[in-house]
Amino acid sequence: MNSLAQGTLLSGPLAVHPLLDSIRDTLTSGPKNAESVAFIVGVVAFVLLVVVAARVFGRERGAAAQHQVDYLTIAVDVLGLSESERRDLQKIARRAGLQQPVAMLLSPANLAQAAAAAEIEHDPHFRPWLDELCQRLFETPLPDPQEPPGQPS
């Protein structure tokens, strides 16, 4: 600000108040070293407070977002499968390392891929059960996971 504007703005009836006198002195003489350090410390403390608050409140929302819906259970209910079939499908999905286990119920090829990834091809219980399940759900036998999609078996 030029000196004429400073004189006009910082003098008069408003300059009577001690706070305004302090502001006028700071504007005319510049900040003192102690005031600069106090301002920087205050800004840093405020930023740290905001970061900590964001982490605390963000963690609460993150925990709620991590609660996922079990779509496999919903699909099992819709398809009318039994509780033991649901457990077997969950076991296959866990062994196969599927992030979304319900994906294996979308097609016979997906079911065959999950079975191959779970390495249950030689299990005497699972292979006949999977063939029967595939026949019930898709009206087709369980395909070979190595066979390209769309090729007749």
- What global pTM score does this model have? 0.53
Q: Where in the sequence is the domain holding 114, given as residue range(s)?
A: 71-138
Look at the chain and report how many structural domains it folds into: 2
Residues 51 and 85 in one domain: no
Whole-number Å distance between alpha carbons of 97 and 119 = 11
Digit-coded pLDDT (tens) for 46-85? 999 999 988 888 776 655 556 678 888 999 999 999 999 9
Angle at 95 (CA atoms; ends 94, 101), nearest 5 degrees = 40
In percent, how much of the chain has pLDDT > 90? Answer: 28
Residue 148 counted as domain residue:
no
Whether the CB-CB separation of 152 and 132 falls below 8 Å is answered with: no
- Give residues with Cβ within 8 angstroms of 92, minimum separation 6: 101, 104, 114, 115, 118, 120, 126
Digit-coded pLDDT (tens) for 4-50? 455 555 555 554 577 777 777 777 777 677 777 888 888 899 999 99
Chain CA centroid to CA 72, Å? 20
Torsional class of 84: left (φ above 0), alpha (ψ -120 to 50), beta (otherwise): alpha
Residue 150 counted as domain residue:
no
Residue 149 counted as domain residue:
no
Residues 24 and 54 in one domain: yes
Whether the CB-CB separation of 130 and 144 falls below 8 Å is answered with: no
Residues 51 and 82 in one domain: no
